[in-house]
Chains A and B, each alone.
Chain A
Amino acid sequence: MINLAVKEIAYSWFRYVLTAFGLGLLIGVTLTMTGLVRGMMDDAISLIQGTHADLWVVQDDTMGPYAESSTLYDDLYRSIAGLPGVAEVSNVAYLTVQARYGGTDIRVLVAGFNHDRPGEPPYLVAGRPITKSHYEAIADTKTGLKVGDKIGIRRDEYTIVGLTNRMVSSGGDPVVFITMQDAQIVQFQKDNTSIYNDRNRLASNPQLNRPGIPGLLQAVTVSQLSNNKINAVLVRVSPGYDPSGVADNIRRWKHFKVYTYEQMTKILQEKVIVNALRQLGMFMGILAIVSTAIIALIIYTMTLGKIKEIAVLKLVGAKNSTIAGMILQEAWGLGLLGFIVGKVASTLWAPFFPKHIEFIFTDTIVAFLLTMLICTLSSIIGIRAALKVQPSSALGG
């Protein structure tokens, strides 16, 4: 028996390929959505992965420093460092800013770190680590910055000395690493007008500006204008210690919230980006329904287009299985071709998306199987139409 589906496709290949191409673009959009979800989940944890920390100590009752703002004093790390099982501790500060570059600005997450401690930028793809304590920065390649570029953050200008790869905030903003000293200034230092205003307010407060105690006003002013705050303390646990055990210990002695790597991952993936994921999930659901409807319509129309030939086939004695097989195989061919087009298209256009798109092999396989399943289900209405047609309808007309 000759394969009627293959013959039909070969005969009207142009229309078939055109249809598969259109379908392929639809599949490509769906694949991109999947990649976007994966990319977002990946992005969400890229920064905490990059810190190489085991524990995050944050302000009590917060999920900081990525999900909520968290403020701690910058000398807290000393008391944590002394606890058993703590190998390394380090202060970090995070702040989203609009950094000035050229005539425009770029939205970046500024991360303050200490040299050679948890939280420092991982593997550099270009340039060198920061060697000076001020005004040097390491940027993620996603900023589009190059080594030697200068960017403005708040009042100061920083020189890019190195580049990292795939270091982004949970929202997908690229990270710019600067020293902790700089970060504290960026985050907590006030501008000149505020300092001036604050000083005046303090001076005009009779409780603080007492004639009998001349040193008081100055002491209060210094304390108010100091930058001794940070967002979190990162802890690396000594080999042989269980991170959650060490975390319990910190919680017991100090009144802070402590998260392990797993808990932090959960917070980021399940709380911070959950709405974005839900949104994409909704889109994907709708897209899947639309795709199914379109595939069904295409196959139904394709079947109606050759209903006369199907009637002739019935007239000369073709079995239902022969006819159904032809329609089903054409549907599968359409799915296969469409999937290939979609895969190629999504791979080609993925780099142009502002957000990271991550294609995972198992997702591709699942998407392929789903496409074939949808094609199979969609061909049912085509097959029903074909099996209903009377052989006598081949005649006349």
Chain B
Amino acid sequence: MQLLQTSLDAPFAIQMENLVKTYGSGPTAVHAIRGVNLSVRPGEVVGLLGPSGSGKTTLLQCLGAIIDPTSGRIILDGELIYDNGWLIKDLRALRRDKIGFVFQAPYLIPFISVLDNVALLPMLAGQSNSNARQRALELLTVLEVSHRAHAKPFELSGGEQQRVAIARALANKPPFILADEPTAPLDSDRSLIVMNLLARLAAQYNTAIIVITHDDVIIPRFKRLYRLRDGIATEEQGEGLPFPDQPA
């Protein structure tokens, strides 16, 4: 009870307490997450590192309400949303309004334009087409892909597509963005650009961001990071190197 009280008062965008995720049950059960505590402040970019199979993606999908945790507690934007069970019925609306996702691949909808891929989220949230598209165009401009707004996703380069995916993650101004190896398909220059962008956006929109990465170029940039090993997370102080100015 004590723990919960302090959690709710704390100025965290996202917070998880003693989170457990077990895939399956019985002798074949996989204990992917074994009680993780983690918290991110608004505007903060936190790294999530760990060897393959350590449970990073699992953790992130639990946080993102994509899969169901087994037990524990999740507090999002000051609201207790998971307490050994979801306290919110409409998880899809939760994802749509509160959480932005960036994955290893852009996962854009191929049959609608780049602009509509971004505008789709505000539209799904009930905004008018023109408002949604205006918002999308703003974001595409910030991410410097507005010139391809009316192209179909397949006409864009991998880096451009990834930037569109980031724009989509920001479209509904979520307090929290989850990025699972967002720079994996990019070369190190491009990776830095994307990370730099995420850091800038976090500051600009006061968004909390968790980034899963294996990327040696990116890891030294985090001020704070969590290292997962066998489903247990340890918090670490990062080097916090500044991002280089975006190359031209």
Q: Report A's interface with B, CB cutoff 8 A.
A: 1-2, 4, 7-8, 10-12, 308-309, 312-319, 322, 390-392, 394-396
Task: Please pick, from B92, B104, B108, B129, the residue contacting A317 in the complex, using a CB distance under 8 A.
Answer: B92
Task: Beyond the given A2-B120, A392-B61, please list 5 additional residue pairs across the A-B interface where CB-CB is below 8 A.
Answer: A11-B111, A312-B107, A317-B125, A319-B124, A395-B180
Task: Please pick, from A2, A313, A316, A319, the residue contacting B101 in the complex, using a CB distance under 8 A.
Answer: A316
The 7 A-B pairs of least Cβ separation, nearest first, read: A317-B96, A11-B111, A8-B111, A317-B92, A317-B95, A1-B123, A392-B66
Q: How far is the CB of A101 from chain B (nearest CB, A)?
A: 60
Task: Give Cα distance in the complex from A309 to B107, angstroms.
Answer: 8
Task: Give Cα distance in the complex from A315 to B66, angstroms.
Answer: 7
**Are B129 and A313 interface neighbours, CB within 8 A?**
no
**Are A4 and B112 interface neighbours, CB within 8 A?**
yes
Known: A2-B116, A2-B123. A395 touches B107 (CB 8 A): yes
* Contact residues in B for A1 (Cβ distance below 8 Å): 123-124, 129
**Are A318 and B111 interface neighbours, CB within 8 A?**
no
Task: Give Cα distance in the complex from A309 to B105, angstroms.
Answer: 13
**Are A316 and B95 interface neighbours, CB within 8 A?**
yes
Q: Mark B64-106, 1 if CB is under 8 A from A, else 0.
A: 0011000000000000000000000000111111000101100
Most chain A beta carbons < 10 A, residue from B93, B107, B116: B107
- Ordered by A's residue number, 21 sampled pairs between the chains whose C-beta atoms are within 8 Å are A1-B124, A2-B112, A2-B119, A2-B129, A4-B111, A7-B111, A8-B111, A11-B111, A11-B112, A309-B109, A315-B95, A315-B101, A316-B121, A316-B124, A317-B92, A317-B121, A319-B92, A391-B92, A392-B61, A395-B61, A395-B103
Task: Give Cα distance in the complex from A394 to B66, angstroms.
Answer: 10
* Contact residues in A for B116 (Cβ distance below 8 Å): 2, 7
Task: Give Cα distance in the complex from A191 to B120, angstroms.
Answer: 88
* Contact residues in B for A12 (Cβ distance below 8 Å): 111
Q: Which residue of A lies closest to B96 (CB)?
A: A317
* Contact residues in A for B103 (Cβ distance below 8 Å): 395
Known: A309-B110, A309-B111, A317-B93. A391 touches B66 (CB 8 A): yes
Task: Give Cα distance in the complex from A243 to B103, angstroms.
Answer: 85
Q: Report B's interface with A, CB cutoff 8 A.
A: 57, 61, 66-67, 92-97, 101, 103-104, 107-112, 116, 119-121, 123-125, 129, 152, 168, 180
* Contact residues in A for B101 (Cβ distance below 8 Å): 315-316
Q: How far is the CB of B23 from chain A (nearest CB, A)?
A: 12
Q: Which residue of A lies closest to B111 (CB)?
A: A11
Q: Which residue of A lies closest to B60 (CB)?
A: A395
Task: Give Cα distance in the complex from A391 to B93, angstroms.
Answer: 13
Q: How far is the CB of B98 from chain A (nearest CB, A)?
A: 10
* Contact residues in A for B67 (Cβ distance below 8 Å): 390, 392
Q: How far is the CB of A127 from chain B (nearest CB, A)?
A: 62
Most chain A beta carbons < 10 A, residue from B61, B97, B112, B152: B112
Task: Give Cα distance in the complex from A10 to B67, angstroms.
Answer: 33
Task: Give Cα distance in the complex from A396 to B101, angstroms.
Answer: 14
Task: Please pick, from A10, A11, A316, the residue contacting B96 in the complex, using a CB distance under 8 A.
Answer: A316
Task: Give Cα distance in the complex from A318 to B112, angstroms.
Answer: 15
Task: Give Cα distance in the complex from A107 to B171, angstroms.
Answer: 76
**Are B111 and A10 interface neighbours, CB within 8 A?**
yes
Task: Give Cα distance in the complex from A315 to B95, angstroms.
Answer: 7
* Contact residues in B for A392 (Cβ distance below 8 Å): 61, 66-67
Q: Which residue of A lies closest to B66 (CB)?
A: A392
Q: How far is the CB of A36 from chain B (nearest CB, A)?
A: 41
Q: How far is the CB of A242 from chain B (nearest CB, A)?
A: 69
Task: Give Cα distance in the complex from A394 to B93, angstroms.
Answer: 17
Q: Which residue of A lies closest to B152 (CB)?
A: A11
**Are B109 and A312 interface neighbours, CB within 8 A?**
yes
Task: Give Cα distance in the complex from A179 to B134, angstroms.
Answer: 85
Task: Give Cα distance in the complex from A396 to B107, angstroms.
Answer: 10
Q: How far is the CB of B122 from chain A (nearest CB, A)?
A: 10
**Are A394 and B112 interface neighbours, CB within 8 A?**
no
Q: How far is the CB of B238 from chain A (nearest CB, A)?
A: 26
* Contact residues in A for B94 (Cβ distance below 8 Å): 317
Task: Give Cα distance in the complex from A319 to B152, angstroms.
Answer: 23
**Are B66 and A7 interface neighbours, CB within 8 A?**
no
Task: Give Cα distance in the complex from A391 to B67, angstroms.
Answer: 8
Task: Give Cα distance in the complex from A317 to B92, angstroms.
Answer: 4
* Contact residues in B for A390 (Cβ distance below 8 Å): 67
* Contact residues in A for B93 (Cβ distance below 8 Å): 317
Q: How far is the CB of A201 from chain B (nearest CB, A)?
A: 88
Q: Which residue of A lies closest to B171 (CB)?
A: A316
* Contact residues in B for A318 (Cβ distance below 8 Å): 92, 96, 120, 124
Task: Give Cα distance in the complex from A138 to B112, angstroms.
Answer: 66
Task: Give Cα distance in the complex from A319 to B120, angstroms.
Answer: 12
* Contact residues in B for A312 (Cβ distance below 8 Å): 107-109
**Are B120 and A316 interface neighbours, CB within 8 A?**
yes
* Contact residues in A for B152 (Cβ distance below 8 Å): 11
Q: How far is the CB of A19 from chain B (nearest CB, A)?
A: 16
**Are A394 and B123 interface neighbours, CB within 8 A?**
no
Q: How far is the CB of B96 from chain A (nearest CB, A)?
A: 2
* Contact residues in A for B92 (Cβ distance below 8 Å): 314, 317-319, 391
* Contact residues in B for A309 (Cβ distance below 8 Å): 109-111
* Contact residues in A for B111 (Cβ distance below 8 Å): 4, 7-8, 10-12, 309
**Are A394 and B129 interface neighbours, CB within 8 A?**
no
Task: Give Cα distance in the complex from A4 to B116, angstroms.
Answer: 10
Q: Which residue of B lies closest to A316 (CB)?
A: B121
* Contact residues in A for B66 (Cβ distance below 8 Å): 315, 391-392, 395
* Contact residues in B for A313 (Cβ distance below 8 Å): 109
**Are A317 and B112 interface neighbours, CB within 8 A?**
no
Most chain B beta carbons < 10 A, residue from A314, A317, A392, A395: A317
* Contact residues in B for A396 (Cβ distance below 8 Å): 104
Q: Which residue of A lies closest to B126 (CB)?
A: A1
Q: How far is the CB of B151 from chain A (nearest CB, A)?
A: 13
